[in-house]
Amino acid sequence: MILIKEALSKKELKEFIKFPFSLYKNSKYWVPPIISEEMKVFNKVTNPVLQNADARLFLAYKDDTIVGRVAAITNWLEIKDQGVHKMRFGWLDMIDDLEVTKALLLKVEAIGKTHKLEHMEGPIGFSNLDKVGVLTYGYDEIGTMVTWYNHPYYVDHLKQLNLRVEKEFVEHKHQFSDIKIDNSNKLEKVVRDRYNLKSLSFNKTKDLMPYADKMFDLFNDSYAALSSFVKITEIQKDFLKKKFLSFINPEYIKFVVDETDELIAFAVAMPSFSEALQKSNGKLFPFGIFRILKAKQSKKVNFYLIGVHPEYQKKGVHSIIFSAFHKTFVEKGITECRRTPELANNSAIQKLWVDFNPVLIKKRSTFRKEL
C-alpha cells in the first residue's frame, strides 16, 4: 500500500530534499543540489516567490520507506494576473513503481481541482528561472546545477497515466575549438555602427550591480511572449541579485547598451559546477565550499540566459554578445560550452547558434493533464 504524506516539519522537508540522494546514489550523471540551499527554496522567509505562490510538498511511503516525492505548486501571479489556470508540479522523483507515481500525481490533481484550475503541467518550478522538464533523451550525459536528471522510466509512467507532452526542450553543447566566430565579428561591427551600441564587460561584481534591476526588467520584456512565463517581481530582484549575481563570475555577464546607456541586451553564463557538486554530495562544509570556489575556474561553461529587447530582436544584436564572450573565453582557456534547456520549437534561438557547431545532447519535456 502506498501512503502519501505532506512534508510539513523541518525534518520532513529535509527528507523530501534528500530522497533523490538515495535514488541516484550510484549515478555518474545526476548532479545533487546543495541541501541547505534547497531548503531555502521552500522557505517563505528566504524565497520571495512564495509571497505569490504556494508549494505543498508530498512524500510517498511504501512499507515505512520513502519511495517518492512531488511538489504541488500554485503560482497566483500566473493564475490571477495572467489568467493561466494551471496547476504546476515539480521535484518529481520516485522508484520504478507506477502506483507510486499515480498516488503522487493524484495529490497534485486534487489540489488543482480544489482551486478550480483547468490543467496540470510538470515537472516545472515556480517560473522560467527554475528547472524544467523530464529528461527524455541523453541519459548518459552529466547534468547541470540548473536542470533535473531522471531515470528513463519516468517518461513511461507519465504516459501510462495519460499525461501528454506539453512542451519539448533541447540542450546542446559546443566544443570551443569548433566555434566559428568570424561571422559574428563581422556582423558585430555593422550592428554596433548602425544602432550606436556598445558592449559592457565586467571584472568586479559591484560594477555590474547598477545594471542588475534593468537586466531583470529586460528579462521580463524579452521573455514575456514565451509559454509558462511568470514576471519577476520587485522583491524577487533583490533575492536573485544575492543568490545569482553575487555568485557568478562577473566576466561571464555581458550587457549591450545604446547611446543613452539603456540596456537593450544581456547574457549570463556560468562555470560548470557539476563535478564539484557531485563531489560535495549536497554539503557546503567542510570541503564543498572550496570545491565550488575552485570550480569557478572550470574550463567548461554553461550559457544560462540571453535576452534582447523586443525592438532589437532579429537585428543581429546577439553578435555583439557572442563576440564579447568569445574574447573572454579565449582569455580563460574555455574548452566547452553548454546551453541550458531551450524550447525545441524556438527556431529563432536555434539559428543564433548555428556557427557554434552545436551537438544535441539532451531532450526533455513537460507533461500535461486536463483537470
CB-neighbour burial class of residue 195 (10 A; exposed 0-12, middle 13-18, buried 19+)? middle
What pLDDT, on a 0 to 100 scale, did the predictor assign at position 244?
78
Q: Dihedral, CA atoms, 98, 104, 105, 109, nearest 10 degrees?
A: 150
- Phi and psi at 80, nearest 5°, equal -85, -45
Domains and CATH numbers, the chain: 2-172 (3.40.630.30), 174-361 (3.40.630.30)
User: Residue ranges of the chain with pLDDT lower than 50?
Assistant: none
What pLDDT, on a 0 to 100 scale, did the predictor assign at position 228?
66
What pLDDT, on a 0 to 100 scale, did the predictor assign at position 128?
81
Mean pLDDT of the chain: 94
Residue pLDDT, tens place only, 298-338: 999 999 999 999 999 999 999 999 999 999 999 999 999 99
Percent of the chain with pLDDT over 70: 99
The H or E element spanning position 89 is: strand 86-94
Q: What single string gives the DSSP state of each residue in 144-163?
A: -TTS----THHHHHHHHTT-
Q: Are 121 and 134 in contact (CB under 8 A)?
A: no
Displacement of CA 143 from its chain's centroid (Å) = 12
Taking each helix axis from N to C end, the angle separating 98-114 and 153-160, rounded to the nearest 10 degrees, works out to 50
What pLDDT, on a 0 to 100 scale, did the predictor assign at position 97?
98
Tell me the C-alpha distance between 9 and 26, whole Å.
28
- Phi and psi at 330, nearest 5°, equal -65, -45
Which set of grid coordinates corresponds to residue 212?
A: 542588475
What pLDDT, on a 0 to 100 scale, did the predictor assign at position 248?
87
What pLDDT, on a 0 to 100 scale, did the predictor assign at position 227?
65
- In this prediction the pTM is 0.94
